[in-house]
C-alpha cells in the first residue's frame, strides 16, 4: 500500500473531536452537557449581517472568484479600523483576507519558514499552531511559560532561544489556551528582538476585540519599520459570530504579502465571498453590537471566576477573552483523565492541558465564553456532586 506523508502521520488527531467523544458516556444525570471545549461564539450573528450574507450568497457575484488578496472593500474597512485603534499606519494593501485565522497562520508559516528551520512558539501553545509546524517539518522551539509569570513571556528568556535556525517568533495575545493578555511592553520588547536578530514577529490577535477598546493592545503599528518584520493575524469569526464562514486576515508589509499571495493562490485562491462584503459593512455598522458582546463575555468571565471560588483546590492561573486556564487539584492524575471523567461523570466538557504541550498535565482549559450564564452558574453544583461521589 502506498505510504502517506510521515510528517502528517506523526501528528496527533485533531484534539476537539477526540475530547467530544468522552461526552458520549455522559448519561445526562445533571442536565444537558456543558460544552466548554471549543471557542465558539455564545451568541448568534447580528440579524442584518445574516441578511446581507444571505443576499450575497444568492448573487452571481458571490459565486465568482474574488481577488486572491481579498475583496478591496473589506481590506480597506479593516485597515481603517486597525489604523484607528492602534494609531498606526495601515492600508488595504497591507492586508490579505484568508479562510479563517488558522489558514492565515498556515499560509504565513509556509511563506516565511522553510522545512528544517525553527519557529519560537509560546508553551502552552495553541495546538493547531504546533500541528502546522510539525506537518511542515519546522521545529517548534518552545518558549515555556508558567503560572508564576501569569503565562506572559519573558523577553530575556525569549532571546536565549534564538539561533541561526530560527526564522520567526510567534506570540498569541489574548492567549489561547491561557487567556493571558501580553502587556504592550512585552510585545515592544519582542519586536526589538526581532529587529535586532532579523526575524519575523508573528502576533496572533484572534481575540483582540474582547479587550477594552479604549486602549491600543500595543504600539507596533506606530513603528516606522513595522512592515519589515511584523505579521498580525486576525479572525472575524469570534467578533462577528461567524466561525462557519471562515474569514480571517493577515496584516503585513509588501514582501510578506507577496509571498503569502502565492501560497493563497495554491491553496484557496480567494477566501469565501459570502461574508466579505457584509463584514466590510459590519466593521463600522455593528460597533455597538460588538461592544455589547464583549461586555457579555466580561460578565461571563467574572461569573466563572466567582463560581470557581467555591472550590479552592481548583485554581484559576490565567483568564481572559474566551478562556480560563485552571489548575485542577487531582495531582496524582493526568489532565486527560480528569477531563475525560468530568465529561463522562459530570457533563462538563473541557480540554486537558496536555493538548497544549508538555508539562501541562495539571491544567484544564475552560472555554467559558461558549456558555450561557445559567450553565456557568450550574458548574459549582456539578463539581460538588462529582467530587462527593465515590471515585473509582
Place of cell 463539581: 383
**pLDDT at residue 389 greater than cutoff 80:** no
As a whole-number percent, the residues of the chain with pLDDT over 90 amount to 89
- Give the confidence band of 312 by pLDDT, cuts at 50, 70, 90: confident
Instruction: Using pLDDT thresholds of 50, 70 and 90, give the confidence band for residue 391.
Output: low
Cα–Cα nearest to 233, from 308, 176, 292:
176
Give the span between the Cα atoms of 164 and 296, in whole angstroms. 45
Whether pLDDT at 390 is above 70: no
Check whether residue 38 and residue 71 sit in a common domain.
no
d(CA 21, CA 343): 9
8 A C-beta contact, residue 204 and residue 175: no
In this structure, what CATH number is given to the domain that contains residue 301? 3.90.1150.10
pLDDT tens-digit readout, 85-142: 999 999 999 999 999 999 999 999 999 999 999 999 999 999 999 999 999 999 999 9
Co-location of 124 and 160 in the same domain: yes
> Nearest CA to 265 among 89, 28, 53, 68?
68
Per residue in 352-377, is it b (16+ CB within 10 Å) or e — as a string?
Answer: bbbbbbeebbbbbbbbbbbbeeebbe
Decide which of 265, 285, 305 is a domain's last residue.
285
3-state secondary structure 141-210: EEEECCHHHCCCCCHHHHHHCCCCCEEEEEEECCCCCCCCCCCHHHHHHHHHHHHHHCCEEEEECCCHHH
How confident is the model over 26-79, as pLDDT tens digits? 999 999 999 999 888 878 999 999 999 999 999 999 999 999 999 999 999 999
Q: Does the pLDDT of residue 159 top 60, yes or no?
A: yes
Same domain, 274 and 297: no
Per the structure block, which three cell numbers stand in for 146?
508558567
Query: What number is the average pLDDT over the span 182-200?
Result: 98
pTM of full prediction above 0.75: yes
Same domain, 230 and 364: no
Structural domain includes residue 54: no
**pLDDT (0 to 100) of residue 97:** 98
**Residues 69 and 141 placed together within one structural domain of the fold:** yes
Joined together, the cell numbers standing for residue 331 give 495531582
Provide the domain limits for residue 267: 60-285
Domain termination residue (choose one: 285, 308, 326): 285
Q: Which of 54-58, 202-206, 377-381 shows the lowest per-residue confidence on average (mean pLDDT)?
A: 377-381
End position of a domain, from candidates 258, 285, 312: 285
**Is 1 a domain residue?**
no
Amino acid at each position: 500500500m502506498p505510504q502517506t506523508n510521515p510528517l502528517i502521520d506523526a501528528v496527533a488527531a485533531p484534539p476537539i473531536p477526540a475530547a467530544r467523544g468522552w461526552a458520549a458516556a455522559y448519561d445526562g444525570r445533571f442536565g444537558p452537557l456543558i460544552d466548554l471545549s471549543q471557542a465558539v461564539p455564545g451568541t448568534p450573528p447580528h440579524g442584518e449581517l445574516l441578511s446581507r450574507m444571505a443576499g450575497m450568497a444568492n448573487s452571481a457575484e458571490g459565486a465568482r472568484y474574488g481577488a486572491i488578496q481579498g475583496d478591496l472593500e473589506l481590506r480597506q474597512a479593516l485597515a481603517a479600523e486597525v489604523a484607528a485603534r492602534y494609531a498606526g499606519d495601515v492600508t488595504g494593501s497591507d492586508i490579505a483576507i484568508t479562510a479563517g485565522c488558522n489558514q492565515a497562520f498556515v499560509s504565513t508559516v509556509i511563506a516565511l519558514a522553510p522545512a528544517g528551520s525553527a519557529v519560537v512558539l509560546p508553551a502552552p501553545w495553541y495546538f493547531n499552531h504546533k500541528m502546522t509546524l510539525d506537518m511542515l517539518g519546522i521545529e517548534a522551539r518552545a518558549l515555556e511559560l508558567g503560572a508564576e509569570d501569569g503565562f506572559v513571556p519573558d523577553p530575556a528568556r525569549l532571546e536565549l532561544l534564538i539561533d541561526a535556525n530560527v526564522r520567526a517568533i510567534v506570540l498569541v495575545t489574548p492567549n489561547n489556551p491561557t487567556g493571558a493578555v501580553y502587556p504592550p511592553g512585552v510585545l515592544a520588547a519582542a519586536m526589538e528582538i526581532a529587529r535586532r536578530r532579523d526575524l519575523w514577529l508573528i502576533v496572533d490577535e484572534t481575540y483582540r476585540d474582547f479587550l477594552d477598546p479604549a486602549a491600543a493592545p500595543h504600539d507596533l503599528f506606530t513603528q516606522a519599520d513595522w512592515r519589515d518584520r511584523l505579521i498580525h493575524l486576525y479572525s472575524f469569526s469570534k467578533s462577528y459570530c461567524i466561525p462557519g464562514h471562515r474569514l480571517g486576515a493577515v496584516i503585513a508589509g509588501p514582501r510578506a504579502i507577496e509571498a503569502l499571495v502565492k501560497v493563497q493562490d495554491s491553496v484557496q485562491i480567494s477566501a469565501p465571498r459570502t461574508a466579505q462584503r457584509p463584514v466590510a459593512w459590519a466593521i463600522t455598522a455593528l460597533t455597538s453590537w460588538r461592544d455589547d458582546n464583549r461586555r457579555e463575555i466580561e460578565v461571563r468571565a467574572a461569573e466563572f471566576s466567582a463560581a470557581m471560588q467555591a472550590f479552592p483546590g481548583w485554581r484559576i492561573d490565567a483568564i481572559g477573552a474566551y478562556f480560563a486556564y485552571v489548575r485542577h487539584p487531582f495531582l496524582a492524575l493526568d489532565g486527560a483523565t480528569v477531563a475525560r471523567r468530568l465529561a463522562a461523570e459530570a457533563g462538563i466538557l473541557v480540554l486537558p492541558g496536555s493538548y497544549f504541550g508538555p508539562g501541562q498535565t495539571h491544567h484544564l482549559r475552560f472555554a467559558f465564553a461558549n456558555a450561557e450564564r445559567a450553565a456557568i452558574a450550574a458548574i459549582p453544583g456539578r463539581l460538588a456532586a462529582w467530587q462527593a461521589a465515590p471515585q473509582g
